[in-house]
């Protein structure tokens, strides 16, 4: 039976990955900061799907915790076949803010941790000749919404680069780039969403199901829902000044 390690696996898209993989009979390792939520999620998943669920409390903004998770990924006596780098949070601090702490924390959790864990999983899985890495990015990486967009653009580019580096090893890498997904993510980030059109909202479980299909096919980028595939195609080909203008309208709607 395969084992998947999911960071941020107790809520939102991470929890949807946990449900989807457990339903496929995959054992789980859930990584998050909140011990109580970890234990509750583990109990619910193991009872509902009859899989083994290990909990690994860790703050991915702390390097020592990241290295502990990396050690679990490289433990060949308890192999991990699937890594889902999902941990993250909304970031709407201004780029001109006097205190850059929020930006630094975002880079620690959503870039440095992804780099470290992806590298650990990639080399270990490559030695075994098989494995799957999914990095949760965002369609925000194709527009210019401050540092969050910059971080997610990096995640997507990093995933594509890692996929190239691991080509031929039996290990696939996929960047999941969803649009607006109905989770507690936006509420936690204190983002206003009332002006977002209804058709742009996505269901987390369907987002994950489409991503798992793309990952199984070895696609380096997964953009769930046809409507977003069209929008991101346009974003990739429109002039950057147009993307800047659209991004400015989105930003003004959040304030």
DSSP string, 65-129: HHHHHHHHHT-TTS---EEEE---------TT-S--HHHHHHHIIIIIHHHHHHHHHHHHHHHHT
Sheet containing 131-136, strands listed edge to edge, beginning at the edge strand earlier in sequence: 53-57, 27-32, 3-7, 82-85, 131-136, 171-176, 221-222
d(CA 194, CA 213): 31
Task: Output the six-digit token pair for 248.
Answer: 């400015």
Placement of tokens 């583990």 in the chain = 42
- Would you call 148 a catalytic residue per the annotation? yes
- Which among 136, 160, 157 is positioned nearest to 9, based on CA atoms? 136
d(CA 147, CA 161): 21
Q: Which of 148, 158, 225, 228 is catalytic?
A: 148
Structural element, H or E, at residue 11: none
Instruction: Enumerate the active-site residues.
Output: 148
């Amino acid at each position: 039976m395969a084992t998947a390690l999911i960071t941020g696996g107790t809520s939102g898209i991470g929890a949807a990955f946990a449900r989807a993989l457990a339903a496929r009979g995959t054992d789980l390792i859930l990584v998050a900061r909140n011990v109580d939520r970890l234990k509750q999620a583990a109990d619910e998943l193991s009872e509902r799907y009859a899989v083994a669920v290990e909990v690994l409390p860790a703050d991915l903004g702390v390097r020592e915790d990241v290295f502990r998770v990396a050690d679990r990924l490289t433990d060949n006596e308890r192999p991990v076949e699937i890594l889902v780098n999902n941990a993250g949070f909304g970031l709407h601090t201004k780029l001109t803010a006097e205190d850059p702490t929020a930006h630094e924390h975002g880079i620690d959790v959503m870039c440095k941790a992804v780099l470290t864990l992806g590298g650990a999983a990639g080399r270990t899985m490559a030695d075994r000749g098989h494995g799957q890495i999914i990095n949760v990015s965002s369609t925000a990486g194709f527009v210019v919404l401050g540092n969050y967009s910059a971080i997610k653009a990096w995640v997507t580019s990093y995933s594509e680069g890692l996929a190239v580096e691991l080509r031929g090893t039996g290990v696939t890498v996929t960047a999941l780039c969803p649009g607006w997904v109905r989770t507690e993510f936006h509420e936690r980030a204190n983002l206003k969403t009332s002006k977002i059109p209804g058709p742009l909202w996505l269901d987390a479980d369907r987002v994950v199901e489409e991503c798992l299909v793309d990952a199984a096919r070895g696609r380096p980028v997964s953009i769930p829902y046809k409507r977003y595939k069209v929008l991101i195609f346009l974003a990739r080909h429109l002039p950057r000044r147009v993307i800047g203008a659209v991004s400015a309208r989105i930003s003004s709607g959040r304030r």
